[in-house]
Amino acid sequence: MPSGFPASVLFTCDYNVVRSPMAEGIAKLFYGHSFYVQSAGVKNDLEIDGFVVAVCKEMDVELTRHRPRSFDEMQDWGDDLGGFDLIVALTPASQRKALELTRFYHLDVEYWPIMDPTGLGETREAKLARYRQSRDQIIERMVNRFGPPRDTNAV
């Protein structure tokens, strides 16, 4: 187990519809119950992106039932950010929000600069290629940070 392996991780992005749900789903696939994992966005006024669902389904990560949620909604539901050991921000806006909300907590906030695939590519196949690229960036960062998948069938 890598040094500093967390007990709980919150992945964040702008709307919780592209990068952070990918990271949450992949982390659950790779590490099972090794640590608690959730995701959130700065805002949550969109639905899960269909291209995200498609590229995650390619690796048996099911996201069709994902319901986007924001930092504010987490707090409204009683989810305490201080209960997480690590927040992984996947966008600059979510990094700023996480740092702002956690200035009174002792927890780590890491920034993983993951490409935003939305709006890239002219054809369906070109769009899927961009989403796969973002997914693969998340996988690379995740494996570098948390180690190889616990489930050998996961990759």
Which H/E stretch holds residue 9?
strand 8-13
Ordered per-residue pLDDT tens for the chain, 155 residues? 345 578 999 999 999 999 999 999 999 999 998 899 999 999 987 789 899 999 999 999 999 999 999 988 887 776 777 788 999 999 999 999 989 888 877 788 999 999 999 988 789 999 999 999 999 999 999 999 999 998 655 55
How far apart CA 155 and CA 13 sit, in angstroms, is 24
* Per-residue pLDDT, 118: 92
- Give me the half-sphere count of Cα atoms (radius 13 Å) on the Cβ side of residue 129: 7
Instruction: Say which residue the tokens 């995701």 belong to.
Output: 39
Per the CB < 8 A criterion, the answer to whether 24 and 49 are in contact is no
* Per-residue pLDDT, 153: 54
Quick one: which of 64, 63, 13 has its CA closest to 40? 13
**Cα 155 to chain center, whole Å?**
17
* Per-residue pLDDT, 1: 37
* pTM across the whole model: 0.90
